[in-house]
Structure 1
């Protein structure tokens, strides 16, 4: 559903608007056409104005699902996802999704009512009352802004969109006190976030980076989520330098994982960490190089580190930087390509193949249970399909290193915060954004049950959505960690649930796939069938 075009309601002349309409007008002015949330007693004045401004609400079953859906929407479109909650528990329900968006640099705007302006500091027992919503959200968002007048509402929304456009995108929260939502005031034209050009690199930094890279004998590229928008330049630069490419989870598929230079998502591999430490120059683009990327402390680098990042604070985090380039990744890499000499292209395909083999040998026994099924998934899915992932063994051990993705597709994983329950609602957000694109949610039984109620939302949308669930009877990763410590596993085994039957109970479809061929057939059917299809792959519990 598209937003209104000119004439925009109440945009040019002075008009009498309630705070609720002022808020919706401000969202519309920034191109918002979808909001994810659940109506509640305190936000009805906002919902009443959505239709007039062409904003369609998507109603999940839980606000955490709303947050993850808006996150998926934002990642696949590049536009901010908007969550509309009511006060108190509803806002806190969305907080885990806000934390995930912060960790993974996702532009997410959460809008909520709050207690009235004159509400006493001492508790009165009012409905949904809490001491401070803004203090709670400041712990997980880039900022939380409580407005103090109807006239301030559009400025607060513009502030959020300015953040999304001008700096590293991270979530923001805007709170509108209850009495302001219904208060009517005369307002002038809506205020909009200014257009902000992407930050270009300093020419001297580009020259220094180009000189460092052109002199490298053993270069490597590490690509994170900040490199996703610079896909063509990433590939061109790797080929110009003859440099193997390894990505973080957030950067998966930035360079096609079938490319001869691609090592895929491999920073967790001891063999790859040892190799990376020996490179004489490492070019890291849009990545924190953090413990969540390596699954351990980042290894020391023997060579020089050239770092490209939109966020200048990243130059002080992680390994020491030799050449900092603070800029938009696309502009920086385009400038680097122009400054580098032609014809470098070293022959390193054999080295890359050997490193891939070494990585796979390290985990061959552990990963063998997932690889045949993931190959079946890859054979069925289109090249531009979007896969949403959970913090589950089948995802981080299985799909991240073994399910190939190219620049046409996307793989969305909750990498930084490591939240459970992300895959299903994030897939809903992607499907809302791009209904004609294939979308697959990939999860484990433990993670799925954090947000399994969103099957009902998927049924309402009536869009094809397969959900593949590897069922190991509980929290498999924690079970394995307990055993590795010599502990007797406790509190990790879940009561068996007939998940396909549950999907059918919600009005969707459900089946089991006990071998890869069965999974391929079920997946192909699910991609053509309206509504969700939950496909369980049973795993033997050790």
Structure 2
């Protein structure tokens, strides 16, 4: 008896002929590149190194676009942003040892933000594996151990025939909710050896759907339908799942006010009558959420920042929808629903009962008024003016990438992202140097729109080398550098804690002159001219740098 699927597995005559007569001159690196093409990849990021040359040589025999950065960590940030913008797994090609290890901070950020990155690293030759010390350049006794606690999954290759399946499995892992970075290791000699294996064509690596259990969504729908004061916290999982429309429909159906976490910026319309915006580091917001009798948390683990530094103590029933099993009920007891945010919200929309509440918008207005009054009492006109200028200069659909700097800390709470998946920051893992290389990755992903990067002068020095990348690839990225002469936020933290700051002051270059030395347009601006200078830079093709000398301050914390 012949089954239909048996017929599907039979190769055509042309496929058989091609398989039996593969083109000459191919090696293991070709199997890597062919697999990536078969999976649908169009662009790869990375930086070559001695053991990885087989992969890079194969690139010239392919149609893949290669975007090389100057530091592996920055290449990882670029791949992270490419994954966030496109929703595809972004290949990141790395060499062994120092090259691979330099990417770790970027992969940690991708993991924290659920960005799909497919890192493929070389390894010393097979003969040197096994934990000994054989004296190979870049050798580590156990290279994969350095990645195991950072990435979502680790995949090792020891023979050429393992390459397509290992990369396909990694691709599937990266794109199955929760999205995240994955790591593949391939020895140098496996990459360099000539291969007679057939050309890799179509590869099956369909991500799995993470579907909610229906009995749990039924209970959640019942709780929300009967709630008197429901509220919603929307995290980055809503953005990654492209579920902002579902979130809005649910909030309107049950009249639940919504606050977005810093990773969930843009998940809910900022000016919506039910929008609590993003003032999570405000005690008034924390009190409002604590008073909810049913609190729906979607796509957030309620970590340090989202819980107002652990001071949030909910008094009502908590429902948590989370794709990352490790974050489910990790910080607060809840009705935990392990699911993709979009699928879970769809299930709730189908079963929840409409819950009119004409008083909800007024409660929201009252809260936001209290927040505004608190900020207005702190003499922070300069900071608000600068942030408003950035917002006014930025087209609504322009992606922005923010480093760990005071203006970004303001933006977490006070910036209207206006669109889902347009505002991105390094707050997942909190490393410096994210903004500019990430913006380059976004510009590669969509060259039709300008991209904004925002850094302090301290963070800018982490990624200054990538001005060469921006110029080489003529990428439409405007880099706003707020220059206060040091690590501004650490200066504030140390002064508040110890009375004075140590190790925070920096000697730095003339950023305008430095940009121009790379062939990149630079301009020095002021708070008064920032909006026009930034708008002009964003409208001009190619890379540009806008330097704002300014010492900004944070608003006073309210979590104590």
TM-score for the superposition, normalised by structure 1: 0.93
Supply the distance in 2 between the matched residues of 1:377 and 1:295 (Cα, whole angstroms).
Answer: 26
* Alignment match, 2:47: 38
* Alignment match, 1:335: 347
CA spacing shift, 1:10–1:501, aligned 2, 3 Å: farther
* Alignment match, 2:181: 171
* Alignment match, 1:292: 305
User: 1:279, 1:303 within 8 Å by CA — same for their partners in 2?
Assistant: yes
* Alignment match, 1:385: 398
Supply the distance in 2 between the matched residues of 1:362 and 1:125 (Cα, whole angstroms).
Answer: 62
* Alignment match, 1:275: 288
User: 2:286, 2:308 within 8 Å by CA — same for their partners in 1?
Assistant: no
The Cα shift of 1:471 comes to 1.4
Total equivalences in the alignment: 533
Supply the distance in 2 between the matched residues of 1:129 and 1:11 (Cα, whole angstroms).
Answer: 41
Helix, strand or coil: the match of 1:163? helix
Task: Provide, for residues 290-322 of structure 1, a one-character-per-residue CA deviation record: whole Å limited to 9, x for no partner.
Answer: 11323511522100011112233433311101x
The Cα shift of 1:418 comes to 0.3
Which residues of structure 2 form unaligned runs of 5+? Answer: 1-13, 554-560
The Cα shift of 1:239 comes to 1.1
Helix, strand or coil: the match of 2:265? coil
CA spacing shift, 1:291–1:408, aligned 2, 3 Å: closer
Supply the distance in 2 between the matched residues of 1:148 and 1:10 (Cα, whole angstroms).
Answer: 27
Which of 116, 126, 129 is the equivalent residue of 2:125?
116
The Cα shift of 1:255 comes to 0.9
Task: Provide, for residues 176-217 of structure 1, a one-character-per-residue CA deviation record: whole Å limited to 9, x for no partner.
Answer: 101101123333574734424523322222221111001111
Which of 144, 166, 172 is the equivalent residue of 1:134?
144
User: 2:110, 2:117 within 8 Å by CA — same for their partners in 1?
Assistant: yes
Which of 248, 263, 268 is the equivalent residue of 1:235?
248
Supply the distance in 2 between the matched residues of 1:438 and 1:237 (Cα, whole angstroms).
Answer: 33
Q: Does residue 19 of structure 2 align to residue 13 of structure 1?
A: yes
Which of 213, 228, 253 is the equivalent residue of 1:217?
228
Task: Provide, for residues 111-157 of structure 1, a one-character-per-residue CA deviation record: whole Å limited to 9, x for no partner.
Answer: 11101111164434322222222111113112332211111111110
Supply the distance in 1 between the matched residues of 2:433 and 2:84 (Cα, whole angstroms).
Answer: 17
Which residues of structure 1 form unaligned runs of 5+? Answer: 1-7
CA spacing shift, 1:23–1:324, aligned 2, 3 Å: same
User: 1:464, 1:526 within 8 Å by CA — same for their partners in 2?
Assistant: no
CA spacing shift, 1:23–1:237, aligned 2, 3 Å: same
Task: Provide, for residues 404-462 of structure 1, a one-character-per-residue CA deviation record: whole Å limited to 9, x for no partner.
Answer: 11235610111221011000000000000001123111111111111111111111122
User: 1:250, 1:415 within 8 Å by CA — same for their partners in 2?
Assistant: yes
* Alignment match, 1:4: none
* Alignment match, 1:91: 100
User: 1:291, 1:298 within 8 Å by CA — same for their partners in 2?
Assistant: no
User: 1:388, 1:413 within 8 Å by CA — same for their partners in 2?
Assistant: yes
Task: Provide, for residues 465-488 of structure 1, a one-character-per-residue CA deviation record: whole Å limited to 9, x for no partner.
Answer: 211121111011111111112343
CA spacing shift, 1:72–1:280, aligned 2, 3 Å: same
211-220 or 190-199: which moved more? Answer: 190-199
Helix, strand or coil: the match of 2:44? strand
CA spacing shift, 1:56–1:45, aligned 2, 3 Å: same
CA spacing shift, 1:11–1:443, aligned 2, 3 Å: farther
Task: Provide, for residues 315-363 of structure 1, a one-character-per-residue CA deviation record: whole Å limited to 9, x for no partner.
Answer: 3311101x23222211211221121223625332232222223334444
Name segments (4+ residues, structure 1) moved above 6 Å.
Answer: 8-12
* Alignment match, 2:445: 433
Which of 534, 539, 544 is the equivalent residue of 1:528?
539
39-48 or 90-99: which moved more? Answer: 39-48
User: 2:54, 2:188 within 8 Å by CA — same for their partners in 1?
Assistant: no
* Alignment match, 2:512: 500
Which of 404, 412, 422 is the equivalent residue of 2:424?
412
* Alignment match, 1:29: 38
Q: Does residue 174 of structure 2 align to residue 161 of structure 1?
A: no
* Alignment match, 1:100: 109
* Alignment match, 1:47: 56
* Alignment match, 1:182: 192
User: 1:231, 1:407 within 8 Å by CA — same for their partners in 2?
Assistant: no
User: 2:478, 2:538 within 8 Å by CA — same for their partners in 1?
Assistant: yes
Supply the distance in 2 between the matched residues of 1:522 and 1:320 (Cα, whole angstroms).
Answer: 49
User: 1:292, 1:416 within 8 Å by CA — same for their partners in 2?
Assistant: no
Which of 345, 363, 368 is the equivalent residue of 2:381?
368
TM-score for the superposition, normalised by structure 2: 0.90
User: 1:244, 1:263 within 8 Å by CA — same for their partners in 2?
Assistant: yes
67-76 or 361-370: which moved more? Answer: 361-370
Supply the distance in 1 between the matched residues of 2:229 and 2:331 (Cα, whole angstroms).
Answer: 21
User: 2:440, 2:475 within 8 Å by CA — same for their partners in 1?
Assistant: no
User: 1:385, 1:409 within 8 Å by CA — same for their partners in 2?
Assistant: no
The Cα shift of 1:280 comes to 0.3
Helix, strand or coil: the match of 1:23? helix
* Alignment match, 2:268: 255
* Alignment match, 1:461: 473
User: 2:495, 2:501 within 8 Å by CA — same for their partners in 1?
Assistant: yes
Helix, strand or coil: the match of 1:485? helix
Helix, strand or coil: the match of 1:199? coil
Which of 319, 327, 352 is the equivalent residue of 1:314?
327
Supply the distance in 2 between the matched residues of 1:295 and 1:512 (Cα, whole angstroms).
Answer: 36
User: 2:155, 2:170 within 8 Å by CA — same for their partners in 1?
Assistant: no
* Alignment match, 1:205: 216
User: 1:472, 1:539 within 8 Å by CA — same for their partners in 2?
Assistant: yes
Supply the distance in 2 between the matched residues of 1:474 and 1:9 (Cα, whole angstroms).
Answer: 61
User: 2:122, 2:187 within 8 Å by CA — same for their partners in 1?
Assistant: yes
